[in-house]
């Protein structure tokens, strides 16, 4: 089956092509533009002939050093630029990490519900994704991971805050997962792409809580979400030497390196701590508005996400045998009737739910909510 996220986007495009005014909360990215400061740095980079030629496979030293410095602040560990590989976005970084640790047929645990990209990237690296059910607040626990571990388990993909659930794991959960991973020699691939969007103030890197995990940890990050730079395709991984060497070799043999202009833009972004902080402030306000509005609709039950960019309500109360039978049917009806695009939970291994992105401007969010309420109340 095609990824339902793309099916929604394709149907929304079809309606737009027919002149319908579709409002979308289906995106998996901030809707704002990249900051003018970053754009200006990219233009300077374009005008610098040094960026017109080959660079190094591992990535520019200036960017790697800054990524290492930020990771040192996050984790308390003494990273250097040698520990960093620059990739074409966090998804590519995840792939590079997985192709280093996965042999064909090896199993990698992924959260269910969870982002489908995690399972897809495991498959791309030759592995088998094994869904591990999350707890009542959508968090992975060491107990569940142990229940799903087999002799072929080589890694777990962890994302906190996560997509689509916004779940932020507790310190105790992260310490337990780290201890479990070290005991069983399982890699923890920590996808920290949403780290700046933690609305509880409790986010801590698993490595800060459990430095002993560092021999078994890969930290993945990037500028895509923090700096509204999904189209620029710059991410990275920090990992032990064997993983970095494998990733460097793979990059060298395939893409040669990430475009230098984009790396310069990412460098400018990493120097800017104000933009992600301001975005987090706005997203928190919009999250509160959206969750409250959704909970006012009969049949919708929306937990308050601790982080991330999404509300992930249950719509089980709206489903029935003689009405919408699934959340996918409901999402299709909302698009056709209210002209609001949302992603059905089926995309995330969570039928009965919808994902709605609140990283949109206030006007879009308010229009979407008004339309959803009107359509569902008039049904
Ligand atoms: C959990 C998670 N990791 C990684 C990514 C991809 O990030 P990038 O655009 O940097 O490849 C996404 C995008 O939706 C995501 O939700």
Please give the Cα distance from 108 to 124 (Å, whole number): 12
360 and 312 in one domain?
Answer: yes
- Give the C-alpha separation, 94 to 222, whole Å: 11
Verify that 80 and 228 share a domain, yes or no.
yes
Q: Report the alpha-carbon distance of residue 157 to residue 206 in Å, rounded.
A: 12
Q: In this structure, how many other beta carbons lie within 10 angstroms of the beta carbon of residue 258?
A: 27
Mutate to test the pocket of ligand 1, among 87, 190, 193, 347 (most ligand atoms within 8 A of CB): 193
* Cα of 9 vs its chain's centroid, Å: 18
Q: Is residue 43 part of a domain?
A: no
For the chain, what percent of residues have pLDDT higher than 90?
Answer: 94
Ligand 1 neighbour 221 (Cβ under 6 A): no
Q: Residues 215-235: what's their mean pLDDT?
A: 98
Claim to verify: residue 255 and residue 282 sit in the same structural domain: no
Q: Is the CB of 161 under 6 A from ligand 1?
A: no
HSE-CB for 233 with a 13 A CA cutoff: 9
The answer to whether residues 258 and 352 belong to one domain is: no
Question: Is 290 domain-assigned?
Answer: yes
Q: What is the mean pLDDT of residues 176-198?
A: 97
Domain that holds residue 369: 4-34+275-377
Helix, strand or coil, per DSSP, at residue 167: coil
Using CA atoms, how far apart are residues 229 and 151, in angstroms rounded to an integer?
Answer: 39
3 lines ligand 1 (CB under 6 A): no
At 82-120, the pLDDT tens digits run: 999 999 999 999 999 999 999 999 999 999 999 999 999
Name the pairing type of β-strands 153-158 and 128-133: unpaired
Quote the ligand 1 centre to 93 CA distance (angstroms). Answer: 10
The answer on 159 and 75 residing in a single domain is: yes
| 109, 130 contact by CB (below 8 A) | yes
Together in a domain, 199 and 303: no
Q: How far is the CA of 262 from the centre of ligand 1 (A)?
A: 17
CA of 77 to the centre of ligand 1 (A): 24
> Does residue 45 form part of some domain?
no
pLDDT digits 0-9 by tens, 368-379: 999 999 999 988
Domain assignment present for 46: no
Residue 310 Cβ contacting ligand 1 at under 6 Å:
no
The span from the CA of 66 to the CA of 63, in Å, is 5
Q: Looking at the structure, do residues 73 and 116 belong to the same domain, yes or no?
A: yes
CA of 277 to the centre of ligand 1 (A): 19
Q: What is the CATH number of the domain that holds 88?
A: 3.40.640.10
Q: From the CA of 90, how far away is ligand 1's center (Å)?
A: 6
Interatomic CA distance for residues 56 and 54, integer angstroms: 7
Q: Is residue 347 assigned to a domain?
A: yes
Final residue of a structural domain among 271, 304, 325 = 271
Binned at pLDDT 50, 70 and 90, residue 169 comes out as: very high
Mean pLDDT in the chain?
A: 96
Q: Which of 2-6, 125-129, 356-360 has the lowest mean pLDDT?
A: 2-6
- How many structural domains are present in the chain? 2
Ligand 1 contact via 159 beta carbon (within 6 Å):
yes
Query: Does residue 189 sit in the same domain as residue 296?
Result: no
How does residue 9 score in pLDDT terms, banded at 50, 70 and 90? confident
Ligand 1 in reach of 227 Cβ (< 6 A): no
260-308 tens-digit pLDDT? 999 999 999 999 999 999 999 999 999 999 999 999 999 999 999 999 9
How far apart (Å, rounded) are the C-alpha atoms in residues 67 and 184? 29
Structure tokens at 331: 């999402």
Nearest-angstrom CA–CA distance, 71 and 307: 20
85 φ, ψ (degrees, to nearest 5) = -120, 125
Q: How far is the CA of 188 from the centre of ligand 1 (A)?
A: 17
Q: Specify whether the CB–CB gap between 327 and 345 falls below 8 A.
A: yes
Q: Is the pLDDT of residue 232 over 60?
A: yes
Q: Indicate the top mutation candidate among 3, 86, 96, 117 to test ligand 1's pocket, ranked by most ligand atoms within 8 A of CB.
A: 117
Closest CA to ligand 1's atom 7:
90
CATH number reported for the structural domain that contains residue 315 in this entry: 3.90.1150.10
Give the Cα separation of 100 and 299 in Å (integer): 46
Last residue of a domain, which of 271, 305, 325? Answer: 271
Q: Judge if the beta carbon of residue 115 lies within 6 A of ligand 1.
A: yes
Q: What is the pLDDT of residue 193?
A: 97
115 CA from centroid of ligand 1 (Å) = 8
Domain boundary among 271, 288, 315: 271
pLDDT band at 2; cut points 50, 70, 90:
low
pLDDT of residue 7: 80
CA of 151 to the centre of ligand 1 (A): 29
Quick one: pLDDT at residue 8? Answer: 84
Report if residue 42 sits inside a domain.
Answer: no
Check whether 31 has a pLDDT greater than 70: yes
- Please name the residues in contact with 28: beta carbons below 8 A apart, sequence gap of 6 or more: 5, 163, 309, 357
Do 241 and 154 have their domain in common? Answer: yes
Which residue puts its alpha carbon closest to atom 1 of ligand 1? 163
Q: Does the residue 353 lie in any domain?
A: yes
Q: Which residues pair with 356 in a beta bridge?
A: 311
Same domain (yes/no): 182, 84: yes
Flag whether 108 is in a domain.
yes
Is 253 in the same domain as 280? no
- The rounded distance, in Å, linking the Cα atoms of 244 and 257 is 14
Please determine, for residue 254, whether its predicted confidence score (pLDDT) is greater than 60.
yes
Shared-domain flag, residues 219 and 302: no
Distance 241 CA to ligand 1 centre (A): 24
For the Cβ of 262 lying below 6 angstroms from any atom of ligand 1, the answer is no
Torsion sign, CA atoms 326, 331, 332, 333: positive
Q: What is the pLDDT of residue 188?
A: 98
- C-beta separation of 160 from 173 below 8 A: no
């Amino acid at each position: 089956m095609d990824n339902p996220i793309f099916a929604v986007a394709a149907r929304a495009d079809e309606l737009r092509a027919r002149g319908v005014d579709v409002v979308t909360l289906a995106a998996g990215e901030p809707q704002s533009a990249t900051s003018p400061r970053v754009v200006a740095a990219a233009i300077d980079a374009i005008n610098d002939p040094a960026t017109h030629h080959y660079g190094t496979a591992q990535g520019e030293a200036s960017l790697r050093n800054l990524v290492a410095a930020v990771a040192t602040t996050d984790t308390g560990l003494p990273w250097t630029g040698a520990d960093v590989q620059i990739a074409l976005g966090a998804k590519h970084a995840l792939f590079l990490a997985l192709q280093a640790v996965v042999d064909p047929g090896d199993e990698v645990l992924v959260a269910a519900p969870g982002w489908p990209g995690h399972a897809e990237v495991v498959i791309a690296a030759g592995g088998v994704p094994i869904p591990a059910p999350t707890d009542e607040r959508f968090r992975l626990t060491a107990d569940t991971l142990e229940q799903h571990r087999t002799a072929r388990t080589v890694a777990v993909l962890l994302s906190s805050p996560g997509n689509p659930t916004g779940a932020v794991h507790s310190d105790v959960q992260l310490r337990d997962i780290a201890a479990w991973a070290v005991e069983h020699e399982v890699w923890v691939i920590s996808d920290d792409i949403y780290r700046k969007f933690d609305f509880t103030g409790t986010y801590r890197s698993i490595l800060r809580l459990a430095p002993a995990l560092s021999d078994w940890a890969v930290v993945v990050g990037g500028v895509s979400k923090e700096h509204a730079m999904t189209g620029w395709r710059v991410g990275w991984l920090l990992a032990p030497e064997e993983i970095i060497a494998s990733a460097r070799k793979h990059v060298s043999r395939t893409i040669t390196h990430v475009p230098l202009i984009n790396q310069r833009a990412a460098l400018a972004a990493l120097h800017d701590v104000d933009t992600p902080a301001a975005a987090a402030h706005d997203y928190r306000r919009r999250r509160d508005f959206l969750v409250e509005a959704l909970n006012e609709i009969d049949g919708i039950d929306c937990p308050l996400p601790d982080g991330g960019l999404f509300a992930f309500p249950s719509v089980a109360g709206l489903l029935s045998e003689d009405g919408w039978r699934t959340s996918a049917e409901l999402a299709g009806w909302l698009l056709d009737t209210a002209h609001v695009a949302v992603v059905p939970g089926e995309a995330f291994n969570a039928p009965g739910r919808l994902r709605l992105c609140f990283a949109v401007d206030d006007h879009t969010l308010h229009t979407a909510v008004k339309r959803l309420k009107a359509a569902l109340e008039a049904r």
